[in-house]
Amino acid sequence: MDGRLLAEMSVLAAVVETGSFTRAAEVLGLSASGVSRSVARLEAKIGVRLLERTTRALRLTGEGTRLYELAAPHLSGIEEAADAVAGAAAQVRGVLRVSLNPLFVRYVLAPRLPEFLARHPELEIRMVPVPDAADLVAEGVDVAVRFGPQPASSMSSRLLLNTRVLTVAAPAYLKRHGRPRVPQDLAGHECLQYINPQDGRVFDWEFHRGKEVLAVETRGRLTLTDGDALVRACVAGAGVAQMLALGFESLITGGALVDLFPDWPDERFPLYAIRPSRRLPPAAVEAFLDFCTEICRGHA
């Protein structure tokens, strides 16, 4: 149980949390071959295989998973203690890999990004396209921002805001088909369907008023996977849509869309920031999370 074992455990944790030998090497300041040799020495020392290696991915074995889960909290505690003493936890620098919901980027984050970068001149942000259902650890993502309830996992999540769900249609559509007076009237209307990126299923239509929840079965010939496309089709008069208020309030105030059921105002949809790893890199991740929380207050 010497210092080399601690170093090799730290290398294994970096491989798991970044998803590859190459990215772990970048974080640790080593070569990819050096990282591979360190993991091999650890496996030889313990006497079990810890990682399954293929040309496309790395996976922990059962023994590797147990070792990582037992060791990671202790490694994190050692790093946090060292950071607290050395002041490294206050240094926001390096490369932060983020996977962000496009609506959040376009309407909330992008207008404020210059402010964030000005605060942290030594930090570089790389936005990476990662599907909602992807493994963030395997993709090497430091922070993700996602809409919708998040499944239970070892990752930590922070609620950024709850935005209202609106049921809307264009004036041109209403002129042709008439305005539904109650949600149940939607059974006779062309309703644009939207697929949940988390599970690939079409969203159910619900209406909330206080504690009252009304589920309505809807149908439509157009099913979409892109939020912007849904809004554009709705504005063009293709049908009735349910969409998030975030970023699109101006379409209603400007008359491009009509809020059909303002008397059902209480359905909300959450936006979360997800942090796959508590260890890499702590200062930059915390700074970004705090900034997201700050800018979302004005949209809550």
pLDDT for the residue 72: 79
pLDDT for 295 equals 92
**What is the Cα–Cα distance from 173 to 116, expressed in whole angstroms?**
42
Q: Would you give the DSSP letter of residue 111?
A: G
Query: 108, 153 in Cβ contact below 8 A?
Result: no
Using an 8 Å Cβ cutoff, are 227 and 145 in contact?
Answer: no
Give which of 36, 14, 38, 16 is closest to 26, Cα–Cα.
Answer: 14
Supply the pLDDT for residue 151: 65
Q: How far is CA 153 from the centre of its chain?
A: 13
pLDDT at 116: 96
Q: Residues 223, 216: contact at Cβ < 8 Å?
A: no
Domains and CATH numbers, the chain: 3-86 (1.10.10.10), 94-160+270-297 (3.40.190.10), 163-268 (3.40.190.10)
**What torsion, rounded to 10 degrees, do the Cα atoms 202, 205, 208, 213 define?**
-100
Cβ–Cβ < 8 Å for 143, 285:
yes
Give the pLDDT score at 83.
Answer: 59
Sites in the chain below the pLDDT cut of 50 = 88
Q: What is the pLDDT of residue 133?
A: 59
pLDDT digits (tens, 9 = 90+) for 36-59: 899 999 888 888 888 887 766 778
